Structure 1
Amino acid sequence: MSSPNPGGEREKLISKLPAHLQQALKVRAAQLQTDMQDAVAAGIQAWRSCTDQLPTVNTAGAASFGTFLPEGLYDAFKEDCRDRGVSYIQGLAQSVALWLVEHPAGLDVRPRHTRRIIVCNQKGGVGKTAVSAGLAEALAEAFPEVTSDAEALEKALDAAAEGLNVLLVDYDAQGHLSHQLGLKAIPAGEESLITHMLHREQTRQSLLDLTVVIEGDRFGGRLRILPAAFDAFLLDSGLTMFRGPRHAALERALAPIEEHFDVIVIDSPPSLGLAMDAALYYGRQRDDERPGRSGLLIPVEAEDTSAQAYGMLIQQTDSLARDYDIVIEQIGLVVNKYDSRRGYIATSSLGKWNSLGTPPVLAVVPDLKEQREAVRKQRPLLDYAPDCDQSHQMRKIARAVKSA
């Protein structure tokens, strides 16, 4: 609907827009010091003049959105939507996405703090490693130069601005992340993340020197991994005897290399011990850090035991937050390995996860063969099968993380 504003020069547009596009529009307009209504108007004008067949934007769960347009533009926009056979919501979503890709953020808006995403769940087998790797790959990914407005829109929807510099940390003693990417754990006795946490004064190498570039044209050298350490299973006992602040041991080790990365993704162990306390503390909201930029990403499955494990993790998180008077945010949930053919348990559990509202379900990753094939071949999923549904869901998580 539209209604004239008091000045008569603009008309009010009331429609719906996906939450991630609303957030991205708000942030980008603020970065570029542009009025949001001018940004939407420019996007609609670009959409109207576009002659390419544009890809469909997923508008499921779109929320109410209102703005003001120059007089007459809304009626012309509605007529174009009818001519193209798309809904007003779809047309608006495509318009905003086009504006985003045509108006990238400047280079001076790099956040003050490196973002820290802790991928965690006390329950094993829920896919923490797959989600950690997929998210990191999607954040680091960049696409070839676009040749049309349709490709530009596809690029915007996949959060394919300049790929970020990302560090993956294999913080699990089992070392599945390292193995899946073709790397061996650092042998016992050699410098590693563990020695930097427990014996920093005895270390000689920078942790940066221990990181390994993950190959892939889509990552352009921006994606690195800090491999697991063979003696990481001793970390909890080592922290018990640690003389310094145990909860800050991981931060103490990683702080010197944070400046080299936009995002650090931690693949956590399935435990509730002291090592997990250190990871949770590392993901806390720091002073003068904007809410939602760092925190916990929690993979779960659509079954009952995941809900029980989630409850245990939140109890630990709340206890740590009270003890140290800190804020540890839950960025969102990822329902992993979902298959509706498993019947009522799967579908009803997914409904329960969605009904939580806070934290939101950021993606539902299907149980498909591509992830298992990538693991077998020891290749990154987004390099092995960039167009599979699992890869697109990892990009969806990355969009949510980037827009915070």
Structure 2
Amino acid sequence: MTTVLAVANQKGGVAKTTTVASLGAALAALDRRVLVIDLDPQACLTFSLGHDPDRLPGSVHEVLVGDVKVEEVLLDTHDGVRLLPATIDLAGAEALLLMRPGREHALRRALAQVEGQFDVILIDCPPSLGVLTLNGLTAADAVIVPLQCETLAHRGVGQLLRTVHDVQAITNPKLELLGVLPTLYDARTTHSRDVLGDVSDRYSTPVLAPPIPRTVRFAEASASGATVLSGRKSKGAQAYRDLAANLVGYWDGNADLITFSPYES
């Protein structure tokens, strides 16, 4: 069965796109058939995986409004995952979808076309809580919330969690909140641990392991049109490989989901 995982946080700069791209590549390396979906009109995932959004004839926008099928706009990437790309046209999809009944279900209906062709589908949600993010959460089986380990980064997490609960109550009862994924993590500082401890205590939300370390390798990989897993070995690449193994073990029923204690020694 296909597992659909949304990566969402209405705050920008928390490594949502990096997580989708790198986790997708790590899952593909574990022989999973992976589709990644760019739901952000800024099209950062599309660009970081080696495609120019300004030169694409079709994107997820046309899929959502029903003009084309998913298979017609899928692209290959260097890391062995398939990409459903975004273009700036996606910015107009919100207005178009708002006028349609069942607008939150547009992505779910579209993904039914490729059900069974992929083991894992990862959705890069935009940094907002609008119709596009609601589509991502409604289509997903589970959601991960990347959280930058810096002051005030957790502001808005409560609002996102309320949105998740609303989606669970109204459009997608099966949606599972897997937890918060620490990103830009610096294990040398107590500040990073304090931020995660505050989130864990305040929202009673699991913190997924391993935390993703801060490294320049992510920016270098995005500029090259591939993920950090394609380059030299790095702590960031290994962290996403470990996260992928953690999730696969959980999805396959072979292990519990491994979580991280901010104050463990």
Pairing 1:235–2:93 present? yes
How many residue pairs align between the two structures?
A: 249
**Higher RCO, Cα 8 Å, sep 6+:** 2
CA–CA distance in structure 1, aligned partners of residues 237 and 33 of structure 2: 19
User: Does the Cα contact within 8 Å between 1:187 and 1:230 map onto a contact in 2?
Assistant: no
The residue number in structure 2 matching 1:89 is: none
Cα drift, residue 396 of structure 1: 1.6
The residue number in structure 2 matching 1:183 is: 51
SS at match of 1:265: strand
1:1-80 correspondence runs (5 A): none
CA–CA distance in structure 2, aligned partners of residues 225 and 247 of structure 1: 21
CA–CA distance in structure 1, aligned partners of residues 78 and 50 of structure 2: 11
Pairing 1:133–2:1 present? no
The residue number in structure 1 matching 2:176 is: 329
C-alpha distance after superposition, 1:149-185 (max 9, x if no partner): xxxxxxxxxxx4xx11000111110011111122022
Unaligned runs of 5+ in 2: 251-265
User: Does the Cα contact within 8 Å between 2:46 and 2:86 map onto a contact in 1?
Assistant: yes
User: Does the Cα contact within 8 Å between 1:117 and 1:295 map onto a contact in 2?
Assistant: yes
RMSD: 2.0
SS at match of 2:9: coil
User: Does the Cα contact within 8 Å between 2:41 and 2:88 map onto a contact in 1?
Assistant: yes
What is the identity, as a one-letter code, of the residue corresponding to 2:247? V
Structure-2-length-normalised TM-score:
0.86
Cα drift, residue 340 of structure 1: 4.2
Cα drift, residue 115 of structure 1: 0.5
The residue number in structure 2 matching 1:254 is: 111
Larger radius of gyration: 1
The residue number in structure 1 matching 2:133 is: 276
State the percentage of identical aligned residues: 28
SS at match of 2:115: helix
What is the identity, as a one-letter code, of the residue corresponding to 2:41? A
User: Does the Cα contact within 8 Å between 1:295 and 1:330 map onto a contact in 2?
Assistant: yes
User: Does the Cα contact within 8 Å between 1:167 and 1:225 map onto a contact in 2?
Assistant: yes
Cα drift, residue 225 of structure 1: 0.9
What is the identity, as a one-letter code, of the residue corresponding to 1:346? S
Cα drift, residue 363 of structure 1: 2.1
The residue number in structure 2 matching 1:116 is: 4
Cα drift, residue 116 of structure 1: 0.2
1:78-117 correspondence runs (5 A): 113-117=1-5
CA–CA distance in structure 1, aligned partners of residues 90 and 76 of structure 2: 21
